[in-house]
Amino acid sequence: MPDLFVDLRSDTVTRPTAGMREAMATAEVGDDVYGEDPSVNALEAEVAALFGHEAALFAPSGSMANQIALQLLVSPGDELLCDADAHVVTYEIGAAAAYGGISSRTWPAVGADIDPEVVAGMIRPDGYFAVPTRAIAVEQTHNRGGGGVIPLATLRDLRGVADEAGIALHCDGARIWHAHVADRVPLIEYGRLFDTLSVCLSKGLGAPVGSLVVGSAEKIERARLIRKRMGGGMRQAGILAAAGRYALAQHIDRLADDHAKAARLAEAVAPFGVLATTVRTNLVALDLTKHTLDARALAAAARAEGVLISVLGPRTARLVTHLGVSDADIDRALTALPRILAAP
Ligand SMILES: Cc1ncc(COP(=O)(O)O)c(C=O)c1O
């Protein structure tokens, strides 16, 4: 039976495929807090190897994976630098401050178009009078930045900036798989540029739950304690890890399809002057400041036509493609959205 709605709100709405459910049902499991879940251990080893790091830790969510990493890198009272639209300071409910005592300072929201010199100019040295900067966090791909991909050259420059200042570089890589597919940069190339990464299995890769923190063996040993302290120690989590391993094996290459579908959506809405950024991956950010419809009105009109979209702000909205969106779904959206946007 076809779904009633074409759900373009987020790539988190995917449901496990039949193959994934089969992998989950047959997963070997143990108590992961004891380190005895073979499926979790295998997933952690696989993901660490993908990024060329020594170790990885399975966590229940991308937010927890980010927050564990930030606590590894920044001590209470010290400072994190990131962009004003970063997930870590926008959608994690103040966790860096609440759990890590971390002070955050932001550069203006520029999505993936980061100027490493601007970041370098913000770094504060150690001293008795100022908050010392300990880490920089970037987001690959950038969620509120319309799925933008930070170029490898920029990341290399940022690594240089961090090294020069003796501070750490973290990647919120919830959708790093999309960057890898869009820019054809090997995951290991990304991996070697960061002290820590958080990567999500439950976004475009389609697993129901799960993210990992990636880093050195020493960091991941400490991360295990922080995860437990935050209530993120899971027991027979191998059922979830099996879904993640299946997603890694089956669902990375197919992201190119999601990107192509997003490009079709972008092409259809572009004539109405509402495209916020060039679409490179699976996110289509809409800027409605020059349109008669605001984001809520657009979402309501789209819903009435069977298409669900996200409202991100009064005049910003987002469309997301994912493995639950078929070609027929895109055709439906391509009929509905231009018609709505064309209305006076
Ligand atoms: C860029 C980014 N980082 C982190 C997260 C957090 O993931 P979770 O919802 O699993 O906490 C998200 C969620 O959408 C995200 O888009």
**Among protein residues, the one whose CA lies closest to atom 8 of ligand 1:** 62
Predicted local distance difference test score (pLDDT) of residue 2: 53
Report the percentage of the chain scoring pLDDT > 70: 99
Among 82, 200, 240, the mutation site with the greatest number of ligand 1 atoms within 8 A of its Cβ is 200
Dist CA 202 CA 13 (whole Å): 9
Dist CA 54 CA 47 (whole Å): 10
Distance, CA 243 to ligand 1 centroid (Å)?
18
Q: Could you give the 3-state DSSP secondary structure of residue 300? A: helix
- Half-sphere exposure (CA, 13 Å, Cβ side) for 144? 18
pLDDT digits (tens, 9 = 90+) for 55-93: 999 999 999 999 999 999 999 999 999 999 999 999 999
pLDDT digits (tens, 9 = 90+) for 197-237: 999 999 999 999 999 999 999 999 999 999 999 999 999 99
What sign does the dihedral 281-282-287-291 (CA atoms) show?
positive
pLDDT digits (tens, 9 = 90+) for 10-34: 999 999 999 999 999 999 999 999 9
**DSSP for residue 142:** B
Dist CA 261 CA 104 (whole Å): 36
CB-based contacts of 337: which residues, under 8 Å, 6+ apart?
A: 265, 268, 269, 302, 307
pLDDT, average across residues 40-45? 98
Report the percentage of the chain scoring pLDDT > 90: 97
Please state, rounded to an integer, the average pLDDT across all residues of the chain. 97
Is the pLDDT at 5 greater than 50? The verdict is yes
Distance, CA 69 to ligand 1 centroid (Å)?
14
pLDDT, average across residues 144-158? 98
pLDDT digits (tens, 9 = 90+) for 100-116: 999 999 999 999 999 99
pTM over 0.85: yes
Is the pLDDT at 344 greater than 80? The verdict is no
Distance, CA 143 to ligand 1 centroid (Å)?
9
What sign does the dihedral 173-91-326-46 (CA atoms) show?
positive
Is the pLDDT at 1 greater than 50? The verdict is no
DSSP 196-210: EEEEESSSTT--SS-
pLDDT digits (tens, 9 = 90+) for 229-275: 999 999 999 999 999 999 999 999 999 999 999 999 999 999 999 99
pLDDT band at 327 (very low <50, low <70, confident <90, very high): very high
Residue ranges lining ligand 1, Cβ < 6 Å: 12, 61-63, 66, 87, 139, 143, 172, 174, 200, 202, 211
Dist CA 195 CA 211 (whole Å): 17
**Among protein residues, the one whose CA lies closest to atom 5 of ligand 1:** 62
Classify residue 122 by burial, with Cβ atoms within 10 Å: 0-12, 13-18, 19+. middle
Which one has a higher pLDDT value, 79 or 125?
79
Among 9, 63, 213, the mutation site with the greatest number of ligand 1 atoms within 8 A of its Cβ is 63
Q: Give the number of the atom of ligand 1 that is nearest the alpha carbon of residue 202.
A: 10
